[in-house]
Chain A
Amino acid sequence: MATAPSTPADEMPLVRAVNVLKSFSGNQVLKGIDMDVHRGEVVCLLGPSGSGKTTFLRCINQLETIDGGRIWVDGDLMGYEDRAGTLYRLNNKRIAAQRREIGMCFQRFNLFPHKTVLENVMEAPIQVKGEKKDVVEKRAIDLLAKVGLADKPSAYPGQLSGGQQQRVAIARALCMQPKLMLFDEPTSALDPELVGEVLTTMRELAETGMTMIVVTHEMAFARDVADRVVFMDGGVVVEQGHPKDVINNPQHPRTQTFLRRMAAEDHTKIPDPAPMVDGTATDIL
């Protein structure tokens, strides 16, 4: 059994995961993940598809229930209550309350298509936190300006480009004033020319001191913005450290193979403007 963290709350990392296990119908996806993320830290999770990085991210805010191990966010044990060593599953209401502190952006944006951009951003603070409409509206408009969409409050998501939609999704998550932001491959579903605007928004967010965990394939972003990169493969953390060390000088052979392949893909992307392979590859993603 994992020991409860003994450090006082202010010294404790914002996210502490200990021996996280998760399997889907017999397929062990996470095989004991340990990870600490400190306040203000930006951590990028790298790794080939199927390595479990997205699953781990979803476990943090309980979109997946874990089979083993523990996850604490800001000192709260996620999903369970520990009463004298016995774990009690929290009811949906309390799990929902825990999620309020955590913002999440999805690969497919998942904006609410029947609501305008402004309504999307304002929905949760009003409905979930019961905040006053005028207070939320002011904050929502500020946030939309910050993500560069001050002119789009009344558009419907279907009228926006993918990059704009993802920036709205970021503003929507931030409007709940979370302690932690999770990004699940936020640029993977975007056309290449739209990736930059989303990464810029994320970079600006990182500069404000937000704690972020980002699952990404954008090596340049990881190198420039992350405080730490974590390389995962086969459900375990293979290697982690400062981005320059891990990306430029990987120690583990699996990290080396992965980075070589990513570099090769990057290389072929640039000179060849319309290869069929590129199109099908994005479709598969």
Chain B
Amino acid sequence: MTVTTQSTDRPGVIHARPVRHPGRWLGVAIIVIVVAMLISSLVTNPLWDFGYTFQIMQQKSVIQGLWLGTLLGTVGSMIIGVVLGVILAIMRLSDNPVLRGAAFVYIWFFRSMPRYVLLAVLATGIGYLYNTLDVGVPFGQQLAGAVGLESDLTFFTFRWDDFSSTVWIGILALGLSEAAYMAEIARAGILSVDKGQAEAAQALGMSSGQAMRRIILPQAMRVIVPPTGNETIAMVKDTSLFIAANIITELFYQTTLFGSRSFKIIPGLMAATLWYLIVCSVLMVGQSYLERYFGRGYGAVPKKTKVKIMKIEADH
């Protein structure tokens, strides 16, 4: 039996009732109320005093704290952290058990050490143990005494106090701490690269160093960059701990100083907040560019490479 259907009987365009989402509407309502409360506070409470906030933000000492404390501290400690972290990651993947063990102990220690405490230890604790730092042969003074040498086998000396409350001690402390986290990130990145890549590089006659630098690390960067961006942004905020090492050329200390001197606490705190928001926003934009660059060959082609490719194609 055949079924013949008139064209008028056939189902046409669908005008169905959509599914209701009462939960979403509830969420929207709560957000609207919270935002309204916030705006009401900002508008009605004169203690916010945004005029004074903007004034604090532009003070010379605040700007100096931003550049020479927060930004220099972030860049410096991230450089130490990344370089030392990659070295530690390669050590952890080494065949040599001593190198592996040393990296493990380093990572264990610095991950367990709160940054605030570490800053305090390096800034004041070391100075308590040694007034001057002498770099030379271990047990050099004792050895020289025993053998009867003139020199005490010290190559150079510097006074810890000259160093202890400068931004450099902050950079050192946060850099050492960061290296422990970067080591784990770099290790995950290196392990994410297919083993065949190292084999192909070896089969072409590359040394293991060349294979690491030219083939493995560039691919590992795709995995390393996003968490490193997060670490950098976290580091911007962690420079506010510098006060533990008596470093006062730093954004947060300087803004709150204005706030507490004038008894206008909130403008002081807000000045720091706004600067941190600005700096972190800029870093997030930079991070997305870096991710595009290291993601090449996996979809998105960066503009610079596109131009280069067009040039190569034009040449042939």
Q: Which residue of B lies closest to A63 (CB)?
A: B199
Minimum C-beta distance from A133 to chain B (A): 12
CA distance A176 to B201 in the complex (A): 12
A149 within 8 A of B: no
Interface string of A148-159 (1 = CB under 8 A from B): 000001101110
Q: Is the CB of A173 within 8 A of B204?
A: yes
Establish whether residues A141 and B316, one from each chain, have CB atoms under 8 Å apart when the complex forms. yes
CB pair B196–A110 under 8 Å, yes or no, is yes
- Interface residue? B214 (CB, 8 A): yes
Q: Which residues of B (250-299) have their CB < 8 Å from a CB of A?
A: 294, 296-299
Q: Is A267 an interface residue (CB 8 A)?
A: no
Does B43 reach chain A (CB closer than 8 Å)?
no
Cβ contacts under 8 Å, A114 to chain B: 218-219, 222, 294, 296-298
Of B34-42, B70-78, B171-179, B205-213, which stretch is located at the interface? B205-213
Q: Does B194 interact with chain A (Cβ within 8 Å)?
A: yes
A96 to B204, CA, bound (A): 8
The verdict on A226 contacting chain B, using a C-beta distance below 8 Å, is no
Contact assessment for B207 and A96 in the assembled complex, using a CB-CB cutoff below 8 Å: yes
A153-B196 contact in complex given A124-B204, A158-B298, C-beta closer than 8 Å? no
Task: Name the residue of chain B whose CB is nearest to the CB of A159.
Answer: B297
Asked if B298 contacts A113 (CB within 8 A), the reply is yes
What are the residues of chain B within 8 A of A156 when measuring CB–CB? 296-297, 301
> Assuming A127-B210, A128-B206, A172-B204, is B199 touching A158 (CB within 8 A)?
no
Interfacial chain A residues near B296, Cβ < 8 Å: 114, 156
List the A side residues contacting B297 at CB < 8 Å: 113-116, 156-158
CA distance A114 to B213 in the complex (A): 13
User: Is B215 located at the chain interface by the 8 A CB criterion?
Assistant: yes
Contact of B206 among A103, A110, A127 (CB under 8 A): A127
| B190 shortest CB reach to chain A, Å | 14
Which B residues are CB-close (under 8 A) to A96? Answer: 202, 205-207
A233 within 8 A of B: no
Q: Which of A117-156 contact B (CB under 8 A)?
A: 118, 123-124, 127-129, 141, 153-154, 156
**Residues of chain B from 41 to 91 with CB closer than 8 A to chain A in the complex:** none
Are A176's CB and B207's CB within 8 A?
no
A173 to B201, CA, bound (A): 10
Q: B312 touches which one: A110, A154, A169, A176 (CB < 8 A)?
A: A154
Chain A interface size band reads 35 or more
Contacts across chains A and B counted by CB atoms under 8 Å: 87
Report the Cα distance A47→B205, complex, angstroms.
29
CA distance A169 to B313 in the complex (A): 20
Within 8 A of B (CB), among A85-114: 92-93, 96-97, 99-100, 102-104, 106, 108, 110-114
> Given the complex, which residues of A lie within 8 Å of B194, measured CB to CB?
108, 110
* Chain A proximity mask over B189-204: 1 for CB below 8 Å, otherwise 0: 0000010110111111
Is B99 part of the binding interface, using a Cβ–Cβ cutoff of 8 Å?
Answer: no
Q: How far is the CB of A168 from chain B (nearest CB, A)?
A: 12
Indicate if A54 sits at the interface (CB-CB under 8 A). Answer: no
Closest A residue by C-beta to B205: A100
B309 interface contact, C-beta 8 A = yes
What chain A residues lie within 8 Å of B313 (beta carbons)?
153-154
Q: Which of A115, A123, A158 contacts B204 (CB 8 A)?
A: A123
Interfacial chain A residues near B299, Cβ < 8 Å: 158
* A residues less than 8 Å from B219 (CB atoms): 112-114
Chain B residues 12-43 with CB under 8 Å of chain A are none
- Most chain A beta-carbon neighbours within 10 Å: one of B202, B205, B299, B312: B205
Residues of A within 8 A of B298 (CB): 113-114, 158
Chain B residues in contact with chain A, CB under 8 A? 194, 196-197, 199-208, 210, 214-215, 218-219, 222, 294, 296-299, 301, 309, 312-313, 316
Listed A/B pairs (20) with beta-carbon separation below 8 Å: A61-B203, A63-B199, A99-B202, A99-B204, A99-B205, A103-B203, A108-B196, A110-B194, A112-B197, A112-B201, A113-B219, A114-B218, A114-B222, A124-B205, A128-B205, A128-B206, A129-B205, A153-B312, A156-B296, A176-B205
4 nearest A-B pairs in the assembled complex, by CB-CB distance: A100-B205, A110-B200, A124-B204, A110-B196
